[in-house]
């Protein structure tokens, strides 16, 4: 996991959860300075269990069944906790996670999470004189 990130890269959602499941909070990214453009640093902590709901935009980490999501205004790092029977023998945990919990579709089809969450701003129609 990257420990320090540029503010523009702290959460670039690249998938959507396909169903609800349980995870364990591994840490939270915190801003390193007072400005919105300051880098973010990972503060590792065992945040306990968390329920992740279906249709949640997430950013998948490069390894393991780990992802980032927004929770209570913070970017939270979460590891999937497989239900009974989902973990198998422990091998290919990432593959099972991706197959059973994630839809690989762009949650920001217009390229902006703000546009995706709030809709695109439309110009006011001009009055006919």
- Residues 11-22 have pLDDT tens digits of 888 899 999 999
> Would you place residue 92 in the very low, low, confident or very high pLDDT band (cuts 50, 70, 90)?
confident
Kindly state the average pLDDT of the residues 61-67.
92
Looking at the domain assignment, is residue 119 inside a domain? no
Q: For the chain, what is the domain count?
A: 1
Exposed / middle / buried, residue 101 (Cβ in 10 Å: 0-12, 13-18, 19+) = buried
Whole-prediction pTM:
0.77
Indicate if the pLDDT at residue 124 is higher than 60. no
CA-closest candidate to residue 27, choices 59, 74, 73: 74
Kindly state the average pLDDT of the residues 18-35.
93
Looking at the domain assignment, is residue 110 inside a domain? no
Looking at the domain assignment, is residue 124 inside a domain? no
Looking at the domain assignment, is residue 56 inside a domain? yes
Residues 43-53: tens digit of each pLDDT: 998 889 999 99
Nearest-Å Rg of the Cα atoms of the chain is 17
Looking at the domain assignment, is residue 111 inside a domain? no
Greater model confidence, 7 or 102: 102
Domain hosting 28: range is: 4-105
Indicate if the pLDDT at residue 114 is higher than 60. no
3-state DSSP assignment of residue 16: strand
Looking at the domain assignment, is residue 81 inside a domain? yes
């Amino acid at each position: 996991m990257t420990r320090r990130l540029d503010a523009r890269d702290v959460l670039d959602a690249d998938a959507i959860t396909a169903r609800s499941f349980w995870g364990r909070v591994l840490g939270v990214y915190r801003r390193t300075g007072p400005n919105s453009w300051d880098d973010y640093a990972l503060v590792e902590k065992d945040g306990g269990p968390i329920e992740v709901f279906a249709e949640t935009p997430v950013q998948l980490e490069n390894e393991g069944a780990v992802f980032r999501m927004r929770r209570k205004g913070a970017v939270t790092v979460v590891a999937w906790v497989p239900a009974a029977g989902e973990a198998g023998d422990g091998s290919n945990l990432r593959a099972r996670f991706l197959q059973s919990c994630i839809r690989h579709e762009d949650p920001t089809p217009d390229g902006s999470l703000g546009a995706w969450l709030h809709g695109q701003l439309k110009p006011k129609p001009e009055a006919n004189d």
